[in-house]
C-alpha cells in the first residue's frame, strides 16, 4: 500500500521561512472540520526550522533543519492519546481535536517537540501534512509547494519504492534512537548533527606566505586512517561527518618536499584549527 513520506534536504534549506509562512497562511483563520481547528496567530511552529552553527571564524557553516510532524508508525503520541490521535492508512497522523480536548499532556508525548498546545481551545495541535488538501487531490502540502529551493518533498509510494529512494539518496532518520519509525527522511543531515575538523595550510616562499594548495591531509583514529583529502586552491581542508565528542584524532600533513607534520586533535565539537604553517 502506498503511504505519504516527506524528504527534507538540510543542505538546501536557507531559512527563508516560506514553509512556515505557508503553513500559517493555510491554518490561521481557517478551520478544517475533521482535520484541525485553526492555528493560533502566535506561538505555534508546525514546521519548526532549527538552526545550528559549526566551527569558528573564518571556517564556519550554518545548517537549518525543518522539523514537521514525523507521522511515526510507532508514534508515542498515539499510544498516550487513548484514542484521540489516529494514524490513517496513508501514513498521516491526525489529532481528533474533540477527543483530545483538555489533554495538555499529549504535548510532551512527542519526542520531536512537534505537538503544540492551543490555549484558547484547550486542545493539542500539530502539522497535518495538509491532509485536507491531499484528500482533495493536491500533490503536495502547502509547505512543500512554497519551498523555493526544493528542500522539501512529499512522496506517495509503497515500501519497495521507498526503500530504493532511501538507498539511492542516502536518506537518514532524525533521532533513530527514539524507535518511533518516523516517515520523514533527511538528506545531508550531517550538516546539522555531525562535526568537522578543518583548517588552512600555508608555507613561506620568497619571503611571503602562500596557500598550500594540493597538500595531502590524512585523518587517523586510533592509528587507522579513516579519511584523506587534498587542500583546495586556498589551502583549506575539511573532514566532515564526525561524531560529536568523539575524542582523539591524529592529522598527518604532507606537502611537496616539506617535512611531514603530525597534529593531535581532541574533538568535542566542530573545530577550525586555523592557519597551519608548514
Quick: pLDDT tens for 27-45. Answer: 999 999 999 999 999 999 9
Task: State the pLDDT at residue 16.
Answer: 98
Task: State the pLDDT at residue 72.
Answer: 98
Residue 77 phi/psi, 5° resolution?
-65, -35
Helix/strand/coil for 89? coil
CB atoms within 10 A of CB 62: 13
Helix/strand/coil for 205? strand
Q: How many residues does the chain have?
A: 278
Does this model's pTM top 0.85? My answer is yes
What's the mean pLDDT in 167-192? 97
Whether the Cβ atoms of residue 258 and residue 216 lie closer than 8 Å to each other: no
- Give the Cα separation of 114 and 48 in Å (integer): 8
Whether the Cβ atoms of residue 87 and residue 93 lie closer than 8 Å to each other: yes
Q: What are the residue ranges of CATH 2.60.40.10 in the chain?
A: 194-277
Whether the Cβ atoms of residue 216 and residue 228 lie closer than 8 Å to each other: yes
Task: State the pLDDT at residue 159.
Answer: 96
Q: Which class is domain 3-192?
A: alpha beta
Name the E strands within the chain. Answer: 3-9, 48-56, 59-67, 85-87, 93-95, 116-118, 123-125, 152-157, 184-187, 195-205, 208-211, 216-221, 224-230, 236-242, 247-254, 261-267, 271-277
Strand-strand pairing, 224-230 and 236-242: unpaired
Task: State the pLDDT at residue 200.
Answer: 97
Nearest-Å Rg of the Cα atoms of the chain is: 23
For residue 205, is pLDDT > 90?
no
Helix/strand/coil for 143? helix
Q: Residues of 23-37 as b/e, b for ≥16 C-beta within 10 angstroms? A: bbebbeeeeeeebbb
Residue 16 phi/psi, 5° resolution?
-75, -20
Confidence of residue 55 (pLDDT cuts 50, 70, 90): very high
What's the mean pLDDT in 182-201? 97
CB atoms within 10 A of CB 252: 15
Q: What is the mean pLDDT of the chain?
A: 96
Task: State the pLDDT at residue 60.
Answer: 93
Strand-strand pairing, 85-87 and 93-95: antiparallel
Cα pseudo-dihedral 139, 143, 148, 154, rounded to 10: -40
pLDDT tens, position by position, 117-162: 999 999 999 999 999 999 999 999 999 999 999 999 999 999 999 9
Task: State the pLDDT at residue 207.
Answer: 82
CATH of 194-277, one of 3.40.50.10330, 3.30.1330.200, 2.60.40.10, 2.30.30.360: 2.60.40.10
- Give the Cα separation of 115 and 111 in Å (integer): 9
Amino acid at each position: 500500500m502506498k503511504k505519504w513520506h516527506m524528504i527534507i534536504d538540510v543542505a538546501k534549506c536557507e531559512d527563508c521561512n516560506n514553509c512556515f509562512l505557508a503553513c500559517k497562511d493555510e491554518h490561521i483563520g481557517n478551520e478544517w472540520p475533521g482535520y484541525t481547528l485553526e492555528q493560533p496567530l502566535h506561538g505555534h511552529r508546525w514546521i519548526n526550522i532549527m538552526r545550528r552553527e559549526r566551527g569558528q571564524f573564518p571556517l564556519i557553516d550554518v545548517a537549518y533543519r525543518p522539523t514537521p510532524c514525523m507521522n511515526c508508525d510507532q508514534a508515542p503520541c498515539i499510544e498516550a492519546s487513548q484514542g484521540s490521535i489516529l494514524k490513517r492508512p496513508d501514513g498521516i497522523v491526525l489529532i481528533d481535536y474533540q477527543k483530545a480536548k483538555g489533554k495538555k499532556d499529549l504535548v510532551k508525548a512527542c519526542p520531536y517537540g512537534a505537538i503544540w498546545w492551543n490555549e484558547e481551545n484547550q486542545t493539542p495541535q500539530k502539522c497535518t501534512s495538509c491532509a485536507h488538501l491531499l484528500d482533495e487531490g493536491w500533490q503536495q502540502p502547502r509547505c512543500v509547494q512554497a519551498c523555493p529551493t526544493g528542500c522539501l518533498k512529499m512522496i506517495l509510494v509503497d515500501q519497495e519504492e521507498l526503500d530504493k529512494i532511501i538507498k539511492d539518496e542516502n536518506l537518514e532518520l532524525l533521532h533513530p534512537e527514539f524507535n518511533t519509525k518516523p516517515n520523514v527522511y533527511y538528506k545531508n543531515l550531517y550538516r546539522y548533527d555531525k562535526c568537522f575538523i578543518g583548517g588552512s595550510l600555508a608555507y613561506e616562499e620568497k619571503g611571503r606566505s602562500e596557500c598550500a594548495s594540493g597538500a595531502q591531509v590524512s585523518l587517523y583514529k586510533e592509528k587507522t586512517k579513516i579519511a584523506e583529502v587534498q587542500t583546495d586552491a586556498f589551502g583549506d581542508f575539511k573532514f566532515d561527518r564526525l561524531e560529536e565528542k568523539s575524542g582523539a584524532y591524529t592529522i598527518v600533513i604532507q606537502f611537496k618536499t616539506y617535512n611531514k607534520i603530525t597534529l593531535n586533535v581532541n574533538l568535542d565539537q566542530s573545530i577550525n584549527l586555523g592557519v597551519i604553517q608548514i
